[in-house]
Amino acid sequence: MGLEELAREVVGFVNEHRTWAAPIVFVLAFGESLAFVSLLVPAWGALVGIGALVGATDISFWSLWIAGALGAGIGDWVSYWIGFKFKDHAAQIWPLSRYPSVLPRAEAFVADWGVPSIFIGRFFGPLRAAVPLAAGIFEMPYWQFQMANFSSALVWSATLLLFGDILSKLAGWFWGAI
């Protein structure tokens, strides 16, 4: 099963079992932000797809938004802790060991940008999970990291969910206009 098909399956499940929407969004955002998991299963497509259900169903945007932000924030928090605890050995842990260029890029990014790297890195693919790891390795001050972490998680979660919602509304408008 490909990633696109998996995303469709998750969105279909959420559509049929709406009470599971917020916990599923939490898990997807956590996995998308966790240093090692996000390299294997990028979940942003499923999050955008679930966002598309917001306008089309009775699923609450607010519960999804908070669940996504908490999942992403806690995922980055764990990644930071792994970097802080294991330092340079983190690069040797699978699957990060399969992507040797990711961590040096994240380290350079954190060195160049400092605390704003946490906010900026949240929005860029493999850096999303590697930047918090690098911040932990560099021992970025804990509270500065957490402020950037959770504020960016709120913005990131809203962006993905609203993007899906807007795409859904545009598609509905387009099909209605034809």
pLDDT of 22-60, one tens digit each?
Answer: 999 999 999 989 877 766 667 888 898 899 888 778 888
Identify the residue with better confidence: 140 or 11: 140
Q: What is the pLDDT of residue 95?
A: 65
The answer, yes or no, to whether residue 168 has pLDDT greater than 90, is no
Mean pLDDT over 12-18 rounds to 87
The answer, yes or no, to whether residue 72 has pLDDT greater than 90, is yes
Q: Cis peptide leading into 95, omega within 30 of 0?
A: yes
CA angle (177 as vertex; 5, 160 as ends), nearest 5: 40
Name the percent of the chain lying above pLDDT 70: 93
Q: How far apart are CA 83 and CA 89, in angstroms?
A: 8
When the pLDDT of each residue in the chain is averaged and rounded to a whole number, the result is 86
Q: Which long-range contacts (CB under 8 A, 24 or more apart) does 56-59 make?
A: 56/168, 56/172, 57/15, 57/18, 58/18, 59/14, 59/18, 59/21
The answer, yes or no, to whether residue 63 has pLDDT greater than 70, is yes
The answer, yes or no, to whether residue 155 has pLDDT greater than 90, is yes
Residue 145: phi and psi, rounded to 5, are -60, -50
Q: How far apart are CA 48 and CA 72, in angstroms?
A: 14
Q: What is the pLDDT of residue 118?
A: 93
CA angle (43 as vertex; 40, 45 as ends), nearest 5: 130
CA angle (28 as vertex; 27, 29 as ends), nearest 5: 95
Mean pLDDT over 84-105 rounds to 77
Q: What is the pLDDT of residue 104?
A: 82
- Domain extent listing, the chain: 3-168
Mean pLDDT over 89-93 rounds to 74
